Each structure stands twice: as structure tokens, then as C-alpha cells.
Amino acid sequence: MTLAAEQRCGVVRPALENGDLEVLVLGLDAEPEVISTVAGCLAEDERRRAERFASERDRRRFIATRGQLRHILAARLEIAPSDVEFEYAPQGKPHLSRRMAAGDLHFSVSRSEDAAVIALSNTREVGVDIEAVRPIPEADHIAALCFSASEYGSYCALPTEARPAGFFQRWTRLEAISKAIGCGLAQHIPLNEQDWTVHTFIPNPGYIGAVVVQKRLEDPHDGRGTEHPGAPRWPCGKGR
Ligand SMILES: CC(C)(COP(=O)(O)OP(=O)(O)OC[C@H]1O[C@@H](n2cnc3c(N)ncnc32)[C@H](O)[C@@H]1OP(=O)(O)O)[C@@H](O)C(=O)NCCC(=O)NCCS
């Protein structure tokens, strides 16, 4: 993909930079010919996966995300996007193949509606999650099941109109940690949230995101605008 095509596919712009941690935001809704160009660097298994999406829009968004992920990683590794090799942990977390000279480059990907984010760190495990903020009918129930006692208490104290954003602020933090660990929220997660530095960010208006990196021993307390949500009280399912 040329730079022009990459830009047409959705401007890639930084949402957060903090030392070694970088978060890039991608737009996903692109012209069909741009999607075809992006699809050119996908591996056979990724193409087969793309074909399995029931909705054409979801298929395009998957291709746009995966294609741009390949381009971003390839630029850092100074190889061709089609030469990026992924391997998958047992529960599906992708990482760079151990066959590649990728050093300790870690990444995590999340998409919601027409936006995606890619978080990168050269040294530490990373997890990212974004959500379009919208009312969720069962949000209070999910919050009761999944949030820590203190997070649930602060969520319940929010006025009704602040609840959707408050819910997703807490939810994305839990998802980001579970993605850094590589397990789904549907499982019992051995979360020790004190091990993670958490940043909340706004990828686009109307969206909320959280990114976590593994703490170093020497890291100071991380109160940079976020609270530790505390351990969830219950292994819980997805929020949608
Ligand atoms: C993994 C999970 C947290 C992703 O969350 P989501 O909000 O649905 O989707 P997001 O857009 O935020 O993230 C999707 C990306 O996360 C990554 N991913 C997939 N599985 C992952 C995992 N187990 N851990 C971390 N990241 C994962 C992929 O890059 C994926 O992108 P892709 O679909 O383009 O390949 C969620 O799907 C989940 O809980 N899955 C359950 C996994 C599980 O329990 N599997 C059981 C099989 S043993």
C-alpha cells in the first residue's frame, strides 16, 4: 500500500504517546479499490477469515485493520507488509512470529464501528480496547458482575446521562488488561491490576479507549488520570 492509499484508507494518527508506548488511530471505512489494495498484503489465512464475515462492511473493516497493522509493523521492522508473520496464542492473541527478527516489539489491536486502534511497545506487553460510547440496556447488570466493588460504587454514583461513558471507561480498562494477558473476559482472569499502567484516551469524539502496559518495577505510581479498577469480582462475559 502506498502512503496515499494508506491515507485514503483512513488517516493514521497518534492518539497517545508515552515513553515507549504509542497508540495509533485508524479510520476503517474506505473505497472498495483501497480495500482491494490493502487486501493485497494479507496472508492466505487472513483472506479466508475475511471471506467468512457475513457483513460486507465488517469484512472491509477487518481487512482495513489487518492491512494497516501489517503496514505499521512492517515499517518498524523494515520489511514488506506481506512478510509480517503472525502467530496466535491458544486463546487467539496475535503476536509476531518468533521466526522474525522483531526484538521485543509488542502490539495490540481493537476496533469498534468505523475506528480501530493499534498500540505498540518495543519493550513491554500491551493491551488496548476501544468502544463507541452508546447506551447498553444491560450495562448496570454487567457492571454489577464485572466491576470491582469500588468501581461499581463510583459507577452507580454517576448521574444517568454520564453512565454510558462511565460504563465504557471502566469496561475498556478491563478488556485492555485481559487483552494484554491474552485471555478473554469470559474466562476467570488471573488479573493483578496493580501490575499494569493504565491510560484512558479518546480515540475519536464519541469513543473511549484504554491502553495498558506491563509495569516495570521502577515505575512510579501511575495515577496519570486513571484509577486502577480493582480486581473484577466475577468472571464475566462480553458487554455486547
Ligand atoms: C479477545 C477479546 C477480548 C477481543 O475483544 P473485542 O472487544 O471483541 O474485540 P477488539 O476489536 O477489541 O479486539 C480484537 C482484536 O484483539 C486481538 N485478539 C484476539 N484474541 C485475543 C486475545 N485472546 N487476547 C488479546 N488480543 C486478542 C486481535 O488482534 C483482534 O483483532 P482481529 O479481530 O482483527 O484479529 C474478546 O474477543 C474475547 O473476550 N474473546 C474471548 C477469547 C476466548 O475466551 N476464547 C476462548 C477460546 S479458548
Q: Under a CB-based contact definition with an 8 Å cutoff, are residues 173 and 210 in contact? A: yes
Residue 147 CA to residue 158 CA, distance in Å, equals: 14
Q: Does residue 109 share a domain with residue 144?
A: no
Q: Which domain-ending residue is among 74, 96, 123?
A: 123
Cell numbers 480486581 correspond to: 231
Is 106 found in the same domain as 77? Answer: yes
* Res 17: pLDDT: 85
Same domain? 82 vs 36: yes
Q: Which atom of ligand 1 is nearest to the CA of 179?
A: 25
The residues lining ligand 1, judged by C-beta closer than 6 Å to any ligand atom, are 62, 65-66, 91-94, 109-111, 129, 175, 178-179, 182, 184-187, 238
What CA–CA distance (Å, rounded) separates 85 from 230? 35
Other C-beta atoms lying within 10 Å of the C-beta of residue 216: 11
CB 23 within 8 A of CB 16: yes
Domain endpoint, select from 123, 143, 158: 123
Question: Do 100 and 141 share a domain, yes or no?
Answer: no
Which residue's C-alpha comes closest to atom 29 of ligand 1?
109
Mutate to test the pocket of ligand 1, among 52, 68, 88, 109 (most ligand atoms within 8 A of CB): 109
213 vs 132: CA distance, rounded Å: 22
CB atoms within 10 A of CB 8: 17
Same domain, 8 and 84: yes
Q: What is the DSSP letter of 234?
A: S
Show which of 179, 195, 211 is a domain's final residue.
195
> Cell match 444491560: residue?
138
Nearest ligand 1 atom to the CA of 187 is 44
Residue whose C-alpha is closest to residue 211's, from 54, 75, 48, 23? 23
Does residue 233 form part of some domain? no
Question: Does 221 fall in a domain?
Answer: no
Ligand 1 centre to CA of 92 (Å) is 6
Q: Whose CA is nearest to atom 2 of ligand 1?
A: 184
Give residue 188's pLDDT: 59
As a whole number of angstroms, the longest Cα–Cα distance in the chain is: 52
- From first to last of its 240 residues, the chain has per-residue pLDDT tens of 444 444 445 567 888 888 899 999 998 988 888 888 888 999 999 999 999 999 999 999 999 999 999 999 999 999 999 999 999 998 999 999 999 887 899 999 999 999 999 999 999 999 999 999 999 999 999 999 999 899 999 999 999 999 999 999 999 999 999 999 998 666 656 566 678 899 999 999 999 999 999 887 666 554 443 333 333 333 333 333
Strand order of the sheet with strand 196-201?
126-132, 207-214, 196-201
Domain co-membership, 112 together with 182: no
Range of the domain at 34: 3-123
Minimal-distance CA residue to ligand 1 atom 30: 109
> Atom 48 (ligand 1): residue with closest C-alpha?
91
Assess whether 97 and 12 both reside in one domain. yes
Looking at the domain assignment, is residue 226 inside a domain?
Answer: no
The pLDDT score that the predictor gives to residue 186 is 64
- Whether residue 3 contacts residue 44, with contact meaning beta carbons closer than 8 Å, is answered with no
In this structure, the answer to whether residues 117 and 14 fall within a common structural domain is: yes
